[in-house]
Amino acid sequence: MLEQCLAPDCSGFSRYGVFLQTLIAGWDELECHRVFKFLCDQTNLLLKTEALLATKPGLKRHQELQLRLFCRKVLLDPCQNQPDGQFWLVQLLKPWPMVSQAQLLFILYGPLLNEGVLGWEDLVEGGLPHSYLLELAKAILMLFGLLQVKGWSTDSILSILEELIVIPQPWHVENVARLLVLCGSNLCYTFLASKALNGRLDEISRIIIYIILVCEKDGYHMSWAVKLVQQICKVFSTEPERFFFIQHLENMFSEVTREFFESSIARNNFEDRETFQTLCILLDSSARFHTKLLHMFLK
């Protein structure tokens, strides 16, 4: 059945999904579990998913697209409310270990490029526009709303997120930052605070610098980034610890600026305007961030 509708614009799966959701509307969870088991049996969904998850990401692009189209069009996209979407997403994810859950989440909601393939390597090589990460952020937030469900916790969501941003290799930091911004204040703070408590100051400082850059690029209020830094400061219990964190953050501003400058000098600016433009945006974002930060303290 998964092989019957291969084109992204095929309406077969969509029609079947609408029919299925109409049919089971109002059914209790046990009955929906039986529907999922029936679909798995009829399509060999779990076996095909297992085979795909055992393969290097991006190696079987055709099969990845098949799985994505079936799960999205039949089970996920037709859902009329968030609890229904959460139910089907959990059924798809929970049979697998954490790293495989992250990989499957990417297959289902990761950026789909114009060629109809998943942008595994694109997230590693450079920053992508927010539209490419929007669906993935919405899926993560849907999972984050499951904390009341047995077997799911903040730690499990953070673990999936940690695994996600290193598949197939560590993402470009701008993409990590943009995904966190799209996930909103609560999840973004929880993710960074967890790293702060584990002493990973260099890592969170670099991510915050890129969050500030993303705020400037994508038109978010810089006060959002300032409040985020304020919140993270409160994670530390003593003044010396808070000072040490701010010192790390300021040093990282210098380091990232130097990296962009050296990269721009190493290349021909006329051939690589993007790096030079990003450097200029970073300098502007630094000025806006520190203006908001100083204004907050002067109030």
| pLDDT, position 269 | 53
* Whole-number average pLDDT of the chain: 88
Name the DSSP class of 6: -
Helices (H) and strands (E) in the chain, counts: 15, 0
Buried b (16+ CB within 10 A) or exposed e, 251-274: ebbeebeeebeeebeeeeeeeeee
Sign of the CA dihedral 43, 67, 179, 196? Answer: positive
pLDDT tens-digit readout, 37-79: 999 999 999 999 999 999 999 899 989 999 999 999 999 999 8
| pLDDT, position 149 | 59
Sign of the CA dihedral 53, 77, 94, 200? Answer: positive
| pLDDT, position 56 | 93
Is residue 239 within 8 Å of 219, Cβ to Cβ? no
pLDDT tens-digit readout, 195-244: 999 999 999 999 999 999 999 999 999 999 999 999 999 999 999 999 99
Which residue has 């009329």 as its token pair?
A: 80
Sign of the CA dihedral 74, 134, 127, 103? Answer: negative
Measured in whole angstroms, the distance separating CA 222 from the mean position of its chain's CA atoms is 21
| pLDDT, position 267 | 67
What pTM, to 2 d.p., does this model score? 0.89
Answer with the residue of higher pLDDT: 290 or 235.
235
Long-range contacts of 170-176 (CB under 8 A, 24+ apart): 170/124, 171/123, 171/124, 172/123, 172/124, 172/125, 172/126, 172/127, 173/206, 173/207, 173/210, 174/126, 174/127, 174/210, 174/213, 174/214, 175/123, 175/127, 175/128, 175/133, 176/207, 176/210
| pLDDT, position 84 | 87
pLDDT tens-digit readout, 17-40: 888 888 888 888 899 899 999 999
What tokens appear for 185 in the block?
């204040």
Name the DSSP class of 75: I
Give the separation between CA 111 and CA 126, rounded to whole angstroms.
Answer: 13
Q: How far is CA 196 from CA 29, 72, 181, 207, 210, in A?
A: 39, 36, 18, 12, 16
Name the DSSP class of 112: B
What tokens appear for 100 in the block?
């495989």
pLDDT tens-digit readout, 87-133: 999 999 999 999 999 999 999 999 998 777 899 999 999 999 999 99
pLDDT, average across residues 263-284: 73
Q: How far is CA 107 from CA 111, 151, 215, 282, in A?
A: 9, 23, 27, 32
User: How many CB atoms neighbour CB 106 within 10 A?
Assistant: 23
| pLDDT, position 10 | 67
**Cα-based angle 15, 17, 19 (whole degrees, multiple of 5):** 70
Whether residue 151 is predicted with pLDDT greater than 80 in this model: the reply is no
5 pLDDT tier (thresholds 50, 70, 90): low
Phi, psi of 112, rounded to the nearest 5 degrees: -100, 120
